Each structure stands twice: as C-alpha cells, then as structure tokens.
C-alpha cells in the first residue's frame, strides 16, 4: 500500500488508467471512480438531465440521430421549449428525457445517479450544486451541448 492509499477514506484505492497512464481513485465498495482524491467530506449530488446537442457539440451524434445538424440557437430553442413544458407540469423531465435527450442517460429517464466534484463538466457541476433538491435549472451550456438539469438528491 502506498503512503497515499493509507490516507484515503475506507474503500478507496489508487489505480492507474490504462488509456492515460494517470492515477485515479476507485472505491471498491461503490465501484465509483474519479480523478480527484476522495475525502471524507465529499458532498455528492444526484441529478437527472435532458441534453440537446448541436453542430458545435464535441460529439454531434447521439442514440437518436447519427449526425446532429441543428445550430446552437435551434438547440437552445428546443431546451427552452422543453423547460416550459416541464415547468408547467405538462410532462415531467424523466418522461421527456427518455424520449428527447441526446444523452445515453435517456434510457435511465435522464438519471445520472450520484456524483461528486470533478466528475462532470464544470458548468454542469456548478449548476447542479447551485440547485436545491427538486429545482430545475435554466439552460446550461457545456462542450456536450445544452442541458436542463433537475437536482434529485
């Protein structure tokens, strides 16, 4: 056991990434992995989201569409329309995400599970931590596209 491993919270070990060669941290109990060293005081959140990708997204394709050609402006219009439908209780985020999200989490009704600092793209993380449980975000822009986020835990 390395000196670093001796100072990790229970269940955590250091492993080396096969793809990057960098060390990462793995929890043998929860099977969670992350780049940042865990601490006893990590505050995790849970969220669901709906993602709309656009032509400028880092990977402009999804399970719904092999090649996404909509503009960033068109993606924002869709997100704003979806947010209005959710906010007016016409449909819930889970149902809409399962049908319309460009993220593979659509198969889980948009649920991303629990995550801590450093596990999501920074704008997404910041927006999620700023929300109260049950609160729906305004549009959030990341390299993946435009999201609406519902903090669930």
Point out the catalytic residue in the list 62, 105, 137, 147: 147
54 is catalytic: no
**Known active-site residue 43:** no
What are the contacts of 123-127 at 24+ separation with CB within 8 A? 124/49, 124/149
**Is residue 57 annotated as a catalytic residue, yes or no?**
no
Q: Phi and psi dihedrals of 90, rounded to 5?
A: -65, -35
Marked catalytic residue, from 32, 48, 49, 54: 49
Give the length of the chain.
Answer: 153
Catalytic residue among 57, 119, 137, 144: 144
> Which of 54, 101, 103, 137 does the annotation list as catalytic?
103
Q: Which residue, among 52, 59, 30, has the nearest Cα to 119 in the 3D structure?
A: 30
126: Cβ–Cβ under 8 A, 6 or more apart, which residues? none
Active-site residues, by number, are: 49, 103, 121, 144, 147
């Amino acid at each position: 056991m390395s000196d670093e491993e001796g100072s990790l919270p229970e269940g955590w070990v250091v492993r080396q990434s096969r793809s990057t060669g960098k060390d990462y941290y793995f929890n043998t109990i929860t099977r969670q992995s992350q780049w940042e060293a865990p601490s006893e005081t990590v505050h995790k959140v849970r969220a669901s989201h709906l993602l709309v990708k656009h032509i400028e997204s880092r990977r402009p394709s999804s399970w719904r569409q092999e090649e996404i050609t909509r503009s960033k402006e068109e993606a924002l219009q869709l997100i704003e329309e979806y947010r209005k439908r959710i906010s007016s209780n016409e449909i819930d985020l889970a149902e809409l995400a399962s049908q319309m999200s460009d993220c593979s989490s659509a198969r889980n009704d948009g649920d991303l599970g629990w995550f801590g600092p450093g596990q999501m793209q920074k704008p997404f993380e910041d927006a999620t931590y700023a929300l109260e449980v049950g609160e729906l975000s305004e549009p959030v822009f990341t390299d993946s596209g435009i999201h609406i986020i519902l903090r669930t835990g």
